[in-house]
Amino acid sequence: MVSGGGAIGVGCAGGGQTGVVTDGGVTDGGTSEAHGEDRRLGVAAVVLAAGAGIRFDGERHKLLCEVGGVPLVRRAVDAALAADLDETIVVMGAVDLLDVLPEEVTVLQNDAWEQGQATSLAAAVSYAGSRGHRAVVFGCGDQPGVPASAWAAVAEADCDLAVADFGGARRPPVRIGAALWSHLPLTGDEGGRVLMRRRPELVQAIPCEGNPDDIDTLEDLRKWN
């Protein structure tokens, strides 16, 4: 897989092929498959996995550490893939995750990751727009307890702004329709939360099963294992 240059360089691997996304163009990339006439059609899953994880004092980046024998980021990606959306996108930055990711995903390299999580979401929606997706559902690579059913339920929401509700805790995955992408911040540590604060009347909470807790520290990892 190859990463492009610029502030947000993008490397694309879809369908087991290698391609490069630069300057709004796509070369030699794979194509997404339709999954039927349902509300998941045209919706892409996005796993945000670009941060440095500075609170995690381990020998490796936290996303490469195993939970139940599986790399943390792979658990999140596998859940997103199992939701059977049109495309599954992983945004990486601080650490190379290619060795633990499946070939079916599209990988975006965010070279601006130090400017906050918003840059990863911006890279994802820019790419999603170039592919013709009408919405993205984004989640985090450090949430091992979010199942495929949560990704699917949020993807099927009939609105532009939806968030998973885990027994009263509103956490990712979050669905953002294309009509709202231009309102997302371009930098900083917040993305979807900015929209939900500014436009609470648009937010639809979707009841989901699972555990939305993330892994930030070594102690968190020990609890999961």
Tens of pLDDT along the chain (225 residues) come to 333 333 333 333 333 322 223 233 222 233 333 333 476 789 999 999 998 887 887 778 999 999 999 999 999 999 999 999 999 999 999 999 999 999 999 999 999 999 999 999 999 999 999 999 999 999 999 999 999 999 999 999 999 999 999 999 999 999 999 999 999 989 888 878 889 999 999 999 999 999 999 999 888 898 988
The token duo for 208 is 């989901």
CA dihedral sign, ordered 162, 186, 86, 62: negative
Per-residue confidence (pLDDT) for residue 12, from 0 to 100: 37
What are the domain boundaries of the chain? Answer: 10-25+41-224
Between 3.90.550.10, 3.90.1650.10, 3.40.50.620, 3.40.190.10, what CATH number should domain 10-25+41-224 receive? 3.90.550.10
The token duo for 33 is 């498959």
Per-residue confidence (pLDDT) for residue 72, from 0 to 100: 96
Distance of CA 100 to the CA centre of its chain: 16
DSSP character at residue 85: -
Per-residue confidence (pLDDT) for residue 17, from 0 to 100: 26
- Rg of the chain over Cα atoms, rounded to whole angstroms, equals 16
Per-residue confidence (pLDDT) for residue 61, from 0 to 100: 93
Per-residue confidence (pLDDT) for residue 2, from 0 to 100: 31
Residues 30, 129, 127, 142, Cα dihedral to 10°: -100
Per-residue confidence (pLDDT) for residue 43, from 0 to 100: 97
DSSP character at residue 103: T
How, if at all, do strands 87-92 and 106-109 pair? parallel
